[in-house]
Amino acid sequence: MIYLVFPTSWHPSQPYLSLPSLKAFLNQNGVHDVVQRDLAIELLNDLCTWEKTKPLYERIIRELNELSSRPRLTQVEAEKFAKLREAEEIVMALKDQIDAAVDSQRSPEFYEIDQYMENLKIMDVWLDNILAPYYPSQLTVIGSQMRFSPYSSKEVIDSFNHPEENFFYDLYEQWYLDGILKEDIDILGISITSVEQIISGLTLAYLVKKNRPEIHITIGGSVFTKLVDRLEKDASSLFDFVDSFIVHEGETPLLRLVEHLRGDGDLTKVPNLIYRQDGVVKVNRPFAKEELNALPTPDFDGLPLDLYLSPTRVLPVMGSRGCYWEKCAFCSIPFDHMNFHVRYAENVVNDFKVLQEKYNCDHFFFTDEALPINFLRTFAAKIIEQKVDVQWTGELKFEKSLLKDDRIELLYKSGCRKLIFGLESYNQRVLDAMKKGVELSWVDDTSEACMKLGIAMHFYLICGFPTETEPEVMDSINFVLNNQRLLDSPGFSAILSQFDLERGAPIEKNPAEWGITKLYTPPEHDLSLGYTYETTIGMSSDEANALYQQLIEKLGREVMTFPHNYSLSDGLLYLSHHQKHSLLERLGALA
């Protein structure tokens, strides 16, 4: 059996696309013994259930009694004791509310914003306290925090020796491991797509390998795609419990891995594979990319679709991989995908139709890094022509061509209800330094057109790009905060992020162009995805950090977090629900 797992954490409103894409491709090519499992939503659901977590509360009481019996406590023990005392009280106060809060997120109460916010608050407070035995480790609905750095393989592996803190180890072992081990698994695939999933995903790999060493464990996802050189150079100790890593795109490599493991065992013939052989790490180059138009519609069968925290399904879809622009100085997306390629619009329309009928789903989230305008034009026209009644959102780059021939109007008619833009900066010099290829007039005209039509917008903003000054950052903030029409437009959201210099970004290759004099990664951070740096132009790192802290607070006072800033997919549902009465009127006016 091929057993595919998506580990904690991810946003709980919708599944991630990686496993359904892999399952569909394997099935298409004759491999049918494929099981996919979303442990992220399963763990969250189990932890937010009083019946399931009673033993954790009993543990809180036991550990409180044990610590209170000691004549003196260390500082760490005293901090944990205080947390346990707090948890004892809060868990009892919330035990009759937690199940109701989860159920409420799956009901029409989801659309009542005060109730929505209250549900998420209850869940976060509950998680913080029901997991008090693992202090100082913490889990929220959408993330986790431990004292073990996910950027250090040494610390990740050390976390396996501390199940009293690594709740993934303890809870996976208690709740899920026996069921996994009982399956007739020959290949376990784990998708690690974010830093948040490094410890949880590798913990699962370690537990399975410890108990079933004959299972071939392979790790996929974008995280390790950025770490090929580190894995190759250091002969990482991760290979003690991970048999291989699949980097870049994974459909054909996973199929070939299955074929060769079940056949001649020759891993040299598996593209995009990294593995250790006779103590030496091998990397199968050149890296291959998929023919996107040969890929089938994703298959979500087997995922617990009723567990996701929304009353209506939102499914991820793909129109392209990579980015057609490929020039932004700060971006490592081209490094992840090698080069841009796109799926035919008619194939994507067919994906929408199949998924709508099969899973009773009318809302879709494009996972593309930047949807190509020509693709969108054709896609939207075909959706309208074939009378496919859906609503969707996706990410775009500001382009002059988007403003031609009523294209934004066409998108609205096809069901587009929100556009997500990587604005990054509203300062022309900074945009040019970023090599965004964007003019501010396009931003103004696109924003105006979207507001006029009723398409919501999300802006990603960056603070602290190398060479950037404080007044230049304020240009971006003021563009949002001084624009009341924008702030009042339904569904508007904006997130400010602090600049990170990522591995694989163009800045890494020529840092002097941006006044960067030193790139540095702590030697123990062998899994680091970025660098600290020094610069001679613009704000220092400390100045940028101070400004960032000030501005996220300022932005948060004006741009409401829930639901649109908290979850873009939740925001899509919220827009769809609250605009349904005016939608026919708007579409009629456009016609």
Q: What is the pLDDT of residue 233?
A: 84
Tokens of 493: 């959201």
> Looking at the domain assignment, is residue 249 inside a domain?
yes
The percent of residues above 90 in pLDDT, for the chain, comes to 94
Backbone conformation region of residue 326, classed left if phi is above 0, alpha if psi is from -120 to 50, else beta: left
> Looking at the domain assignment, is residue 364 inside a domain?
yes
> Looking at the domain assignment, is residue 290 inside a domain?
no
Each residue of 455-501: pLDDT tens digit?
999 999 999 999 999 999 999 999 999 999 999 999 999 999 999 99
Tokens of 134: 């693992």
Average pLDDT of span 29-48? 98
Domain end position, chosen among 260, 278, 296: 278
Q: What is the pLDDT of residue 583?
A: 66
Contact status, residue 101 vs residue 112, Cβ threshold 8 Å: no
Beta-carbon contacts of residue 563 (< 8 Å; ≥ 6 apart): 113, 116, 570, 571, 573, 574
> Looking at the domain assignment, is residue 519 inside a domain?
no
Contact status, residue 317 vs residue 52, Cβ threshold 8 Å: no
Does residue 411 share a domain with residue 265?
no
CA dist., res. 558 & res. 572, Å (int): 20
Does residue 253 share a domain with residue 360?
no
Lowest mean pLDDT among 113-122, 326-335, 432-441, 551-560: 326-335
What φ, ψ does residue 64 adopt, rounded to 5°?
A: -60, -45
Beta-carbon contacts of residue 78 (< 8 Å; ≥ 6 apart): none
Does residue 331 share a domain with residue 274?
no
Q: Residue 584: is its pLDDT beyond 70?
A: no
CA dist., res. 108 & res. 110, Å (int): 5
Q: What is the pLDDT of residue 586?
A: 65
Q: Residue 585: is its pLDDT beyond 70?
A: no
Average pLDDT of span 100-117? 97
Most distant CA pair in the chain, distance: 79
Q: Residue 6: is its pLDDT beyond 80?
A: yes
Q: How confident is the model at residue 558 (pLDDT cuts 50, 70, 90)?
A: very high
Does residue 140 share a domain with residue 48?
yes
CA dist., res. 36 & res. 253, Å (int): 17
| Domain housing 402 | 312-508+541-590
Q: What is the pLDDT of residue 56?
A: 98
Does residue 459 share a domain with residue 349?
yes
Q: How many domains, in total, are found in the chain?
A: 2
The structure tokens 């180890």 sit at 169
Each residue of 509-536: pLDDT tens digit?
999 999 998 899 999 999 999 999 999 9
Average pLDDT value for the chain: 95
Does residue 474 share a domain with residue 584?
yes
Each residue of 269-283: pLDDT tens digit?
999 999 999 989 999
Q: How confident is the model at residue 579 (pLDDT cuts 50, 70, 90)?
A: confident
Contact status, residue 365 vs residue 394, Cβ threshold 8 Å: yes
CA dist., res. 352 & res. 361, Å (int): 9
Q: What is the pLDDT of residue 333?
A: 80
Each residue of 210-219: pLDDT tens digit?
999 999 999 9
Q: What stretches of 69-143 show up as alpha helix (H) in DSSP?
A: 75-94, 98-105, 113-130
Each residue of 430-450: pLDDT tens digit?
999 999 999 999 999 999 999
pTM: 0.96
Does residue 124 share a domain with residue 43?
yes
**Residues 213, 215, 218: CA angle, nearest 5 degrees:** 115
Each residue of 50-81: pLDDT tens digit?
999 999 999 999 999 999 999 999 999 999 99
Domain containing 471 — which CATH number?
3.80.30.20
The percent of residues above 70 in pLDDT, for the chain, comes to 97
> Looking at the domain assignment, is residue 64 inside a domain?
yes
Q: What stretches of 110-261 show up as alpha helix (H) in DSSP?
A: 113-130, 153-159, 167-171, 177-182, 198-211, 222-225, 228-234, 251-261
Q: What is the pLDDT of residue 580?
A: 77
Average pLDDT of span 537-541? 93
Beta-carbon contacts of residue 137 (< 8 Å; ≥ 6 apart): 131, 144, 145, 146, 147, 165, 166, 167
Lowest mean pLDDT among 169-178, 297-306, 391-400, 509-518: 509-518
What φ, ψ does residue 494 adopt, rounded to 5°?
A: -155, 135
Domain end position, chosen among 278, 295, 320: 278
Long-range contacts made by residues 555-562, C-beta under 8 angstroms, separation at least 24? 555/477, 555/480, 555/481, 555/494, 555/496, 558/480, 558/481, 558/487, 559/480, 559/487, 559/492, 559/493, 559/494, 562/113, 562/116, 562/117, 562/120
Q: How confident is the model at residue 588 (pLDDT cuts 50, 70, 90)?
A: low
